[in-house]
Amino acid sequence: MAGTGDDKGSKAEKLGYLGLGMMGIPMARRLVNAGFDVTVWNRSTGKAKALAEAGAKLALPVIDRRGKPLIMRAFAFGDALDSGQWGIREPRPDAAEVAPDVMLVPLLAFDRSGQRIGYGAGYYDMTIAKFRAVKPVTTIGIAYAAQEIADVPVTERDARLDFVLTEREVIDFRTA
């Protein structure tokens, strides 16, 4: 990935050192590969802006209805958003539906096996299962180290994370 400084490798290095330092260069390179679509749940985060500036394609979740997986729609900073369920800002219905390669997943707590406690409705678990049924999807939880607990109660519907990023470490569950 050598080049003029404007290539994906250089952008990934800048992203790894500045915007996503705790993720490291290898993960940053994966995220900025040309074909990656990345789902973010909070469009105002510096990480999402850093990913977009590095060339990642972004998507935001849209709630279809309770008991159904989320719909992921393409998003770019500056796009007009509608007010969805519970007043959550989301892409308009005419935004392209996408199948992300990487999902940044919200959580309240996590454990060392890659399980998470979400916000209770199972939207992300259903969505991860939907996409993993057709292609590999890397899931990354963003948390503070204090959100780690000994054991998350697990059901057959819960989707295991691939990584959790905290202010202290990158935890890789893929080999656990």
Least confident stretch, 20-24, 59-63, 87-91, 160-164: 20-24
Record the pTM: 0.74
* Contact between 44 and 64 (Cβ < 8 Å): no
CATH of 34-172, one of 3.40.50.970, 3.40.630.30, 3.40.50.10420, 3.60.15.10: 3.40.50.10420
pLDDT 10s digits, 71-126: 999 998 889 999 888 888 899 999 999 999 899 898 999 999 999 999 889 999 99
